Amino acid sequence: MIERQEGKTAGVVIFRLSGPFTARSMYECMPPAALENLLRIQSGPEEALSALNILDLTAVPYMDSMGLGTIVRHYVHCKGKRVQFVAAGASPRVMELFLSAHQGVVVRP
């Protein structure tokens, strides 16, 4: 499950993930288009461009390659829009997946 909330500081968006982040769990609660819309840097045209996206992984025990790909795509999208991206709180198991895919730069333990 992914929850999007505005940070206490303007321009900060926090995405809190909970539970396994796998292909199956990702789309159990929302269709692919809804997930894509949730991860947009701007949720609507009236919303200002965020300066920082924080991905909180503290409640994610594990993920598969689909979850990894979703996070990496979001990271690349943020980088292209010059939005700072921080993924933090990864468990050792999740961190190992990022490192084995040579994506250690994307996430911090």
Residue 76, C-beta contacts closer than 8 angstroms, at least 6 positions apart: none
Instruction: Give 66-85 pLDDT, tens digit per residue.
Output: 999 999 988 998 998 899 99
Instruction: Give 10-29 pLDDT, tens digit per residue.
Output: 889 999 999 999 988 887 87
On the question of pLDDT at 58 being above 90, the answer is yes
**Mean pLDDT in residue range 56-63:** 96
The SS3 assignment for 80 reads helix
pLDDT for position 43: 52
Token pair, residue 15, equals 């995405």
pLDDT for position 25: 86
On the question of pLDDT at 44 being above 60, the answer is no
pTM to 2 decimal places? 0.83
Q: How confident is the model at residue 33 (pLDDT cuts 50, 70, 90)?
A: confident
Nearest to 35 by CA among 17, 48, 47: 17
